[in-house]
């Protein structure tokens, strides 16, 4: 069995040649030789031990996968430093996109939830309003509905029902007061509901 440290004296270029020939011991030596340096670069940029380890693993895995075709134009140290920086950028970009996606989902979910709640509240309020209108005394209810649903003026309602305009105003005042009390809302909100 070969000694675990038999490649310690090899240069980086010699190790890469051995690795190109599928020599796992040479790869282990290269890994041990540069692990600390590459980890330090990754950790400095990510400030997270687990993520830094992941990036370094990806860099060395890439070297092993491309061992037969890997050609360096600079030193191995330079190559590893640049490779780590690119992996860090890719890693941060993935994280950013993932976070953006999660933020969009959260926003959409909250927006949908808010819209649903608002719709249910409005629906309930309108049901209560309809119930309140149905509880109005006969003539009062008719005056109110002619005003709200048919957009008739007080003068038109008075003419149609054969009553004075003052009586129409009294019925409307009574209707609004009764609805405001039964719904427990202020006049501006009631006006908005009726519009």
| Mean of all residue pLDDT scores within the chain | 78
pLDDT, residue 32, reads 92
- pLDDT above 80 (res 7): no
pLDDT, residue 29, reads 92
Average pLDDT over residues 146-169: 84
- Tens of pLDDT, residue by residue over 88-124, are 887 777 777 767 766 666 665 555 555 656 655 667 7
Provide the Cα torsion 107, 119, 116, 114; round to 10°: 30
pLDDT, residue 103, reads 66
Query: Which part of the chain has CATH 1.10.1740.10?
Result: 12-100
Name 168's Cβ contacts closer than 8 Å, sequence gap at least 6.
143, 154, 157, 158, 161
Report d(CA 172, CA 178) in Å as an integer: 10
Query: Is domain 135-194 annotated with CATH 1.10.10.10?
Result: yes
Report d(CA 173, CA 144) in Å as an integer: 9
pTM value is 0.46
pLDDT, residue 3, reads 47
pLDDT, residue 144, reads 81
- pLDDT above 80 (res 131): no
**Closest CA relative to residue 9, chosen from 1, 53, 18:** 18
- pLDDT above 60 (res 193): no
CATH classification number, 12-100, choose in 3.50.50.60, 2.60.40.10, 1.10.1740.10, 3.40.50.9100: 1.10.1740.10
Name 126's Cβ contacts closer than 8 Å, sequence gap at least 6.
193
pLDDT, residue 143, reads 82
Query: Which part of the chain has CATH 1.10.10.10?
Result: 135-194
């Amino acid at each position: 069995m070969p000694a675990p440290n038999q490649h310690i004296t090899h240069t980086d270029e010699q190790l890469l040649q051995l690795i190109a020939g599928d020599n796992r011991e040479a790869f282990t030596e290269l890994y041990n030789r540069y692990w600390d340096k590459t980890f330090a670069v990754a950790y400095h940029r990510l400030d997270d031990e687990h993520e830094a380890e992941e990036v370094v693993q990806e860099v060395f895995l890439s070297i092993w996968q491309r061992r037969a075709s890997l050609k360096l134009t600079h030193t191995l140290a330079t190559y590893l430093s640049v490779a780590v920086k690119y992996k860090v950028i890719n890693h941060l970009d993935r994280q950013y996109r993932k976070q953006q996606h999660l933020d969009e989902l959260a926003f959409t979910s909250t927006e949908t939830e808010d819209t649903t709640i608002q719709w249910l509240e409005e629906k309930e309020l309108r049901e209560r309003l309809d119930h309140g209108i149905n509880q109005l005394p006969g003539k009062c209810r008719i005056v109110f509905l002619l005003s709200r649903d048919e957009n008739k003026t007080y003068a038109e309602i008075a003419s149609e029902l054969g009553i004075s305009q003052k009586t129409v105003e009294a019925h409307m005042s009574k209707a609004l007061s009764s609805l405001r009390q039964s719904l427990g809302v202020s006049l501006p909100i009631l006006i908005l509901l009726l519009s």
